[in-house]
Structure 1
Amino acid sequence: MTADGFYATDPCARASWRLAVLMGANSRTYKFALGHALLAHAARGETEVALPDLATTYAMALAEHTALAPQASERTTLGDADFLTAAADEFEESRRLGRPTDRLLEAAVRSMPAMVMQKFHNLPGKTQVAHRFYDLAGSRRSRIVRLTPDLIQIAQSEQAAGLRAELEARWNIVETSFTIGVGRSLIREGLAVDRTAMTLTDKRRRRPVTGVKEATIGFQHGRCLICNFVMGPADETVIDHVFPFSLMNRYGGAAGWHGPDLDALWNLAPAHASCNSDKKARLPYPEELSRLARRNEAIMPSQYPMSRTLRLSLNEPGNRPTTNWLAFLHEVEKLLR
């Protein structure tokens, strides 16, 4: 699915935000730290933020992540003056102080305008999202970040907590791609699903990366795959096997089933608990298959490793070669009828 197609499904500021967070290019994780800072300040209703104040939130978030996992591709060379070098060097002291050290804050203020703020709204193909979430104003010595009404609205909406969770999940997934190296095992193996905990797991190290719900719900525009209504913060939600796992029992369980893995990411989707309960073990309706196909197509243009995980499912031994998700789903349906 193209960015235009994703936006056309839900033409609003939330869709633009999700495009920026979920589908932009990631040679580093700066945009996630900026997104984190923007949501934090906008949630307080701030319409103008001095760049050093935004940089304080941004720097602390990035420093905390830097202490846990790489924030840039293995192909990136970091110099002594690089922001990530400062973040790694200054994290412990910044954590002790409860604020960035002078060196870390200075590095953030210096690098943010060109390194991340000019690029946050960009999408691959030299296009931009339909909404702007901030503008940079003022002189070089006294820069102000003006937060737009669209950003304030989504940061104070009932879906704000979900958007923060989606951003954090995407951040963790990109960190994983940097940790084990895009271009090596990750591209060959993708991510596994821990069915018991419903988490995505790094196949090489068996480390939980993030929850399936948090990783995928943004690609569904925050909607239940079964009823297509938005899942609110008070709603009980579960992960639905769109093709019920229990249907394999007619083949004597997983051992006798020769179709694609029904416990894989392509077949798992957030849904209301009540919708999932009513669905029981029936096959998906045509409209549910269409929504699942669109969700999977939306993930495909995103960066590794989720897109690679889906490509692996499309090309598992025994599957008919295809790049069309709806055709793939119809083939699975035929096997289960």
Structure 2
Amino acid sequence: MRFYQVEPTLENYWRGIILFGKNVASYKFALAHALYEVKRDGSDLILLEDLAVPFSQHLCRHLAQAPKQITSARSQYLDACRGFNAHEIAQDALTAATVRFGFNNVIDAFHNVNQGEIEKRFFIDERKTHKGIRLTSHFYQLTEREQYQNLMFETDARWNLVERGWAMGVSRNLIAVEHDEQNNMLFSIQNNRRITITSCRDSLNGYQKGRCFYCFAPISVEPGDARLADVDHFIPWRLRDQVQNVNGVWNLVLACKSCNRGKQGKFAHVPSLKLLQRLHDRNEYFITSHLPLRETLIRQTGGSTAKRHDFLANVWNTARVNLLHQWEPKAAGPDIF
């Protein structure tokens, strides 16, 4: 995939798994979180019974808020998780059920993206020989990367988005994911009721590979971090009366503080045509990642690549006529998306 071929770093291979892998169950996200948290005690072999505790805890946490965690009608393993949440079984019983049923497919499928396996493996399946998985050097190197902390936030945000898509039945009804500017949260409307989904920063960061949309400087989504990203409107908010749905996901990007509100920042200027093409490419990543951002972008900007390109060209021309001045910052790194 172009996403990680343009910048083939370990964190972008990992993001490829989280953002673009096929989702028929949420187990992939639970496994990612378990790998973030599992105690390694100096050994690269992780027994399934040790992996099962954080894996099941994350699934139970999400299951309590979002009952649909799989596309199939029934799951014996999720029944065990529901039993744990209802205090009908203890942690030991849940751990045993997790070892027996929870990893059956997810370990095999974890590294598969777009019907093929990515080039970098983060663990090796040794269930038959050692009753666990063995972490590779790629995983250990990943934990030392600058972006590693961001990956945890991105995984949970992607999980929240996927389960919201399942809950709303995107195959029957295109979802509108919208932005709450005051709280920087994404939300949707169901039965005339507003439902908060997840952090806007956490949702967008992975698709930008942890970099400022405009200059590619490193950014963070961790609260309190000095490099915490700003959520910016690519087409300035002041044109909300001239541009349709200027607060839509299609128009939201993460920016460093310098680009968003520094002395040479964008403010009410029109981003250059080069940056407009970058927005189109970023939005096509949304399309590739499937529900619900795919459905949102189709609804907001068009049902084909050509229509989405024309939509952006039209709103850019409207912005140029109204605001006149174009803007593009000095790059802090090479183009990565």
Residue type at the aligned position of 2:162: V
Asked whether 1:303 is paired with 2:295, we answer no
Asked whether 1:268 is paired with 2:252, we answer yes
Residue of structure 2 in register with 1:152 after alignment? 140
Indicate the SS of the match to 1:203.
strand
Summarize the alignment of residues 1-337 of structure 1 with structure 2, pairs less than 5 Å apart. 4-41=1-38, 47-73=44-70, 76-78=72-74, 82-93=76-87, 101-124=91-114, 126-137=115-126, 139=128, 142-185=130-173, 187=174, 189-204=175-190, 205-232=193-220, 233-246=225-238, 248=239, 254=241, 257=242, 259-277=243-261, 278-315=265-302, 323=306, 325-337=308-320
Q: Assess, with a 3 A threshold, how the Cα gap between structure 1 residues 33 and 322 changes in structure 2: closer, same or farther.
A: closer
Indicate the SS of the match to 2:254.
strand
Tell me the distance in 1 between the aligned counterparts of 2:46 and 2:40.
12
Residue type at the aligned position of 1:72: Q
Indicate the SS of the match to 1:206.
strand
Aligned length: 311
- After TM superposition, give the deviation of residue 39 of structure 1 in Å: 1.6
- After TM superposition, give the deviation of residue 101 of structure 1 in Å: 2.0
Indicate the SS of the match to 1:226.
coil
Per-residue Cα deviation, 1:99-122 (whole angstroms, up to 9, x for no partner): x62321112111244221000111
Q: Assess, with a 3 A threshold, how the Cα gap between structure 1 residues 174 and 46 changes in structure 2: closer, same or farther.
A: farther
Indicate the SS of the match to 1:210.
strand
Residue of structure 1 in register with 2:327 after alignment? none
- After TM superposition, give the deviation of residue 46 of structure 1 in Å: 5.1
Q: Do the aligned residues in 2 keep the contact of 1:173 with 1:305 (CA within 8 Å)?
A: yes
- After TM superposition, give the deviation of residue 322 of structure 1 in Å: 5.5
Q: Assess, with a 3 A threshold, how the Cα gap between structure 1 residues 77 and 150 changes in structure 2: closer, same or farther.
A: same
- After TM superposition, give the deviation of residue 326 of structure 1 in Å: 4.2
Residue type at the aligned position of 2:98: A
Residue type at the aligned position of 2:156: E
TM-score by length of structure 2 reads 0.85
Residue type at the aligned position of 1:107: A
Tell me the distance in 2 between the aligned counterparts of 1:120 and 1:206.
33
Residue type at the aligned position of 2:82: A
Tell me the distance in 2 between the aligned counterparts of 1:167 and 1:227.
24
Greater mean deviation of Cα atoms: 9-18 or 287-296: 287-296
- After TM superposition, give the deviation of residue 43 of structure 1 in Å: 8.3
Per-residue Cα deviation, 1:264-315 (whole angstroms, up to 9, x for no partner): 1001001112210111110002332222111111110112111111111113
Q: Do the aligned residues in 2 keep the contact of 1:70 with 1:178 (CA within 8 Å)?
A: no
Tell me the distance in 1 between the aligned counterparts of 2:183 and 2:79.
35
TM-score by length of structure 1 reads 0.85
**Unmatched segments (≥5 aa) in structure 2:** 321-337
Higher relative contact order (CA 8 A, sep 6+): 1
Indicate the SS of the match to 1:161.
helix
Tell me the distance in 2 between the aligned counterparts of 1:295 and 1:224.
12
Q: Do the aligned residues in 1 keep the contact of 2:40 with 2:46 (CA within 8 Å)?
A: no
Per-residue Cα deviation, 1:160-181 (whole angstroms, up to 9, x for no partner): 2210000000111111112222
Tell me the distance in 2 between the aligned counterparts of 1:211 and 1:159.
17
- After TM superposition, give the deviation of residue 157 of structure 1 in Å: 2.5
- After TM superposition, give the deviation of residue 243 of structure 1 in Å: 0.9
Per-residue Cα deviation, 1:1-43 (whole angstroms, up to 9, x for no partner): xxx1111221111111111101111121000000001122378
Q: Do the aligned residues in 2 keep the contact of 1:45 with 1:152 (CA within 8 Å)?
A: no
CA RMSD across the alignment = 2.3
- After TM superposition, give the deviation of residue 92 of structure 1 in Å: 4.5
Q: Assess, with a 3 A threshold, how the Cα gap between structure 1 residues 333 and 157 changes in structure 2: closer, same or farther.
A: same
Per-residue Cα deviation, 1:71-122 (whole angstroms, up to 9, x for no partner): 434x52215xx1111001112549xx9xx62321112111244221000111
